[in-house]
Amino acid sequence: MANSPSNKPSVVHTLSREADTLVQDLASLGDKAGLKADKLLSFVLEFMPASYKATKPKDRKPTWYAEMVTSAWSNLISDKAIAKRFKEATYKAWEINQEATNPDYPILLTEGKDKSYRATQTGETPDLKLDQKTLMSWTSNDMTVMKSKGAKDPTNPSFDQYGASRAEWVQPERNRVTTYSAGKLRDTKGSLVKALKRLHGVATNVATATEVIEKRIPNKLAEIESMRTRSVSNGKAWSAESDKMFDEGVALIKKSCR
């Protein structure tokens, strides 16, 4: 009997942990010589579609290399565990970057008497540390619950007196991590396309014709959101109209970048 959507078996692949390290290193260190991408490609080749070996050299169109990598990558991350491993590798790369360049990382927060978080002052013990591991321990659903009406209602099982404030601090930082991750994984696929060209003796500076370049939501947007959160915590008054205009502006920028 065919599997229904509810009991469809999960895809499971075997992939060396070395691939995770290569994804992390590509994100955090780059790969001018192409050696990391070449090594990662050696793992990805196993997941190439049947057309990879079936296509003769004379029949390889300019877009063929990108198409092969896209297909192999899709096959690989159809295993949800591997998809998660690759994301976590880029999350770690983001953290390495922050530790090296951002003196304010990680953000430390203290619970205020007004049921909101504020930046921890010198000499205080923080109640919440927004490092990468903590930020990504919450799911999108967790973030939604934090901001829900139930979280603000003492009679509701979902009541979380610090939830709304926590979400205001956490969401912009999570956005920074996920935006960085998406961009680095996209860059990794681009590096694999170049590696595949090298493997087949094709110049890597030759454009692959109609490759689609996805637009990214700028990292700066998440930083702007974070700055607003900090200004509120530091006592700056935002009117309801200002809040509305800010949120509408952010939503418009995100929409235009997709």
Q: Is residue 217 part of a domain?
A: yes
Supply the pLDDT for residue 232.
Answer: 64
Q: Is residue 41 part of a domain?
A: yes
- Residue 206 has which token pair? 């030759």
Supply the pLDDT for residue 212.
Answer: 36
Q: Is residue 84 part of a domain?
A: yes
Distance, in Å, from the CA atom of 196 to the CA atom of 204, rounded to the nearest integer, reads: 9
Distance, in Å, from the CA atom of 168 to the CA atom of 151, rounded to the nearest integer, reads: 14
Is 76:49 a contact under the CB 8 Å cutoff? no
Q: Is residue 25 part of a domain?
A: yes
Number of compact structural domains in the chain: 1
Supply the pLDDT for residue 136.
Answer: 97
Is 23:88 a contact under the CB 8 Å cutoff? no
Q: Is residue 185 part of a domain?
A: yes
Q: Answer whether 0.95 is exceeded by the pTM.
A: no
Q: Is residue 6 part of a domain?
A: no
Residue-level pLDDT, tens digit, the chain, 258 residues? 445 454 555 778 899 999 999 999 999 999 988 999 999 999 999 999 999 999 999 999 999 999 999 999 999 999 999 999 999 999 999 999 999 999 999 999 999 988 899 999 999 999 999 999 999 999 999 999 998 988 888 898 888 999 999 999 999 999 999 999 999 999 999 999 999 999 999 877 655 443 333 334 555 666 677 666 666 666 666 777 777 777 777 777 766 655
- Across the beta sheet with 128-130, what order do the strands follow? 117-119, 107-111, 128-130
Q: What radius of gyration do the chain's Cα atoms show?
A: 22
Give the domain extent around 184: 18-256
**10 in helix, strand or coil?**
coil
C-alpha separations of 196 from 60, 66, 86, 138, 145 in Å: 12, 9, 20, 37, 44
Supply the pLDDT for residue 242.
Answer: 73
Supply the pLDDT for residue 228.
Answer: 67
Distance, in Å, from the CA atom of 209 to the CA atom of 44, rounded to the nearest integer, reads: 23
